[in-house]
Chains A and B, each alone.
Chain A
Amino acid sequence: MTEPPAAFAAELVGVSKRFGPVLANDGIDLAVARGEVHAVVGENGAGKSTLMSILYGLHRPDAGHVLRAGRRVRLRSPADAIRHGLGMVHQRFRLFPGLTVAENIVIGAEPVRGGRLDHTAAHRAVTALADRYGLRADPSALVGDLPVGVRQRVEILRALYRQAEVLILDEPTAVLTPGEADRLFEVLRTVAATGVAILLVTHKLTEVLAASDQVTVLRQGRVTGRFTTAGTDAGELVHAMIGRSLTPPAPRRARPPEGDPALDVRDLTVRDADGVARLSGVSFTVRPGEIVGIAGVAGSGQRELIDSVTGLRGGTDGVLLDGTPVRPGRDPRVAYIPEDRHGRATAPDMSLAENLLMGGQRTLATRFGLPRAAVRSRGRELVERFAINTASVDLPIAALSGGNAQKAVLARELTRPSRVIVAEEPTQGVDVGVRERVHALLIAARDQGAAVLLQSSELAELRELADRILVLFEGRTVAEFGPDAAEAELGQAMTGVRG
């Protein structure tokens, strides 16, 4: 039997999947052709990851089936999917921190010679792949020691090593800097040109428009639009995604910041365990009613700065909150929206209601303990107020989609009685609708007199929100810009080029 020439590389037909009360996928049809980059977009919780997991054998659909090159296949596990030529780069990395890059890539399909692992062949294969696609990664480095951008490359190399003919990428750019993301798209183009079908899940419409051939839009588990990229635009996609158009950004601040600085960073120097300065003599202030943005390429001292301001690095005289030094631990005077959503920001296995309360438990505690009913009703109130989409406040927060988990973190932090807000990549991995909402919340907090420190790798976000943008480079503040700075200017300062 020859396969019909017009068959798609992979096809999902009438796929439905229910998680308890949530219908995550509802009769979805999706087809991707060889050599095509097919973007899958949709709000947080629209069902994108669920659909991709079904295609990769991680979930079994309640209804519907999967065709691979025109033939029906049963995918009961990732092992089945791999056998059928599918590869996946997961939204949350699935790498082994204690194994080397080469081991991470070959594991599951290791080269063996005479009954033993052939390390040399593994290294050679990895190097060859890395050269071919320009994805550089040292084969003998331990993955646990690598920055996220490189880890991402390892995941992609793994799929390429397995010679995936259908490559699924679930939000691959959420953790990448803009430069790394562009590089990734070039690679995807090269890979697609060899006849691989690529499914790309993302929230960023600019990426969709730049990198894909076809777009499928999901909303609440259904397909709400199919477009050819060349024939569509951002407005049309947004409309299909959220069922309305975005409201134009709020007008810039109504009143100028006033009063004494709520956050005063004075000549702050931070050294790491080896005594190397990660921050040198950083000084700035944030006044109530002001958003100060922090820009910089990853690893320029952002982590150290934020950990110092929140007190997580211990007390220091270099950081003053309302005139007094920051307290060690987590200073309660600072509301903190961490980047690491399932590490720092939430306790993934605890319920949404509990996560919403953390840090504020004293307000509800009685002499005898923490009344469950009060915890849940407070949870429900915040869910309502911040439009968190969830079946119940008792669900572990890890079961929420990324954007809804992020809204929960914001709900918790913005309802603290803190005058200083530190937001770190607050819209990473969230959809345009949530992004708009997060921005509105930060602006509202500012207008109510909060001093906001905003760190973001997205320049557009900084320019949209910040009243001033400080650029960090190698642990120093090298430049300060107003909100109307050009991206090119900012980019130059971020790479240490003086203008």
Chain B
Amino acid sequence: MNILEWSFLSGVLTATAPVLLAALGGLICQVAGVFNIALEGQLLWGAFTAVVVSDLTGSAWAGVAGAAVATLLFAGLLSAAAVSLRADPIVVAVGLNLLALGLTAFLMRQIFGSGGTYTSPDLAGLPTLAELGLDVPVLGPQSPLVPVALLLVVAAAWWLGRTRSGLRARGVGQHAEAAAAVGLRVGGYRHGVTLAAGVLCGLAGAQLALGNVTLFSEGMSAGRGWIAVVAVMLSGVRPYRLLLACLLFGIAEAVGFRLQGAGLPQQAADAAPYVITLVALVLAAVAGRRRRENA
């Protein structure tokens, strides 16, 4: 394989990682019966807080940790409203998505003094694995969060299938009344997955703003959180299928990038990954249903 193709694969992984991290958050929520459509807002919030902390401390890892904590707190709004107060999670999530958009734009002006895009030499990006001494093809140019995301897919599958809490979470998601009747604390599991999804979205945001690029721009999540929601719904809550769905988006984005290099207008290149992903995911879902109906 030549260097061009390696770099294409590498681009695919880069584009996949943030979507995948957010989608894993959505997946564990779905498992326990929380329909979490606040991924987009949390991703954006994660990206913003990662940049702020990294800029203040000069440490990318502090940025990652800051994003994880800040997004955990942000997700706490969702879990408090939707789980404790039993508000409609969809309504709350829509509110949070709007809040993230407005709040990041506002705070950006407060902290960095201007809107639009912020970048600075003080802003530390995540190191690549190559810089850390692991110079292998494809993964070399990635941040350490990329292999972490891939490993988390395996971990999620293991958690769901092999652990006690995974089984219980599935039970809570399938039939909350029955879960309560066998003595499970339904609310506890739902808080847990919602908050964990916050952490994952924080990581996703950090990867987006400090790994894929080293900057923050308004609305930079650009629909990736929604792609993650779609991927969760079409994955049938199976982690490996979720990975495939997210990879599809990564491929589409990498292709779009190439096409732009080959002279496709930028708007078309920007839109391409979303269009391709949605069409492919829906076709896959339709094909899957056909297969099941014929079986």
Residue positions of A touching B, CB distance < 8 A: 56, 58, 77-79, 81-83, 88, 90, 93-99, 103, 107-108, 110, 112, 115-117, 158, 273
Q: Indicate if the CB atoms of B168 and A107 lie closer than 8 Å.
A: yes
The digit string for B136-167, where 1 denotes a CB below 8 A from any CB of A, is: 00000000000000000000000000111011
The answer to whether the Cβ of B174 comes within 8 Å of any Cβ in the partner chain is: yes
Distance in angstroms between the alpha carbons of A110 and B179 in the assembled complex: 14
B162, B166, B175, B185: the one contacting A94 at CB < 8 Å is: B175
Q: Which of B171, B179, B182 counts the most chain A CB atoms within 10 A?
A: B182
On whether A107 and B167 interact (CB within 8 A), knowing A97-B174, A97-B175, A116-B162, the answer reads yes
The answer to whether the Cβ of B184 comes within 8 Å of any Cβ in the partner chain is: yes
A77, A96, A115: the one contacting B171 at CB < 8 Å is: A96
Q: A residues within 8 A CB of B222?
A: none
Distance in angstroms between the alpha carbons of A107 and B182 in the assembled complex: 7
Q: Indicate if the CB atoms of A82 and B182 lie closer than 8 Å.
A: yes
On whether A78 and B181 interact (CB within 8 A), knowing A95-B175, A97-B175, the answer reads yes
Q: Which residue of A lies closest to B158 (CB)?
A: A116
Q: A residues within 8 A CB of B168?
A: 107-108
Describe B's contact surface by its main secondary structure: helix
Q: Which residue of B lies closest to A82 (CB)?
A: B183
Q: B residues within 8 A CB of A81?
A: 183
Which B168-216 residues have a C-beta within 8 angstroms of A? 168, 170-171, 174-175, 177-185
Q: Indicate if the CB atoms of B183 and A79 lie closer than 8 Å.
A: yes
Residue positions of B touching A, CB distance < 8 A: 162-164, 166-168, 170-171, 174-175, 177-185, 293
A83, A90, A99, A273: the one contacting B167 at CB < 8 Å is: A99
B163, B167, B180, B185: the one contacting A103 at CB < 8 Å is: B167
Distance in angstroms between the alpha carbons of A83 and B182 in the assembled complex: 11
Q: Which residue of A lies closest to B293 (CB)?
A: A273
Q: Indicate if the CB atoms of B171 and A99 lie closer than 8 Å.
A: yes
Q: B residues within 8 A CB of A112?
A: 164
Q: Indicate if the CB atoms of B183 and A108 lie closer than 8 Å.
A: yes
Q: Indicate if the CB atoms of A78 and B164 lie closer than 8 Å.
A: no
Q: Indicate if the CB atoms of A117 and B183 lie closer than 8 Å.
A: no
Q: Which of A58, A90, A107, A115 counts the most chain B CB atoms within 10 A?
A: A107
Q: Which residue of A lies closest to B294 (CB)?
A: A273
On whether A117 and B163 interact (CB within 8 A), knowing A79-B183, A82-B183, A108-B184, the answer reads yes
Q: Indicate if the CB atoms of B182 and A94 lie closer than 8 Å.
A: yes
Distance in angstroms between the alpha carbons of A115 and B165 in the assembled complex: 10
Within the complex, the shortest CB–CB distance from A396 to chain B, in Å, comes to: 15
Q: A residues within 8 A CB of B185?
A: 79
Q: B residues within 8 A CB of A58?
A: 180-181
Q: Indicate if the CB atoms of A78 and B175 lie closer than 8 Å.
A: no
Q: Indicate if the CB atoms of A116 and B163 lie closer than 8 Å.
A: yes
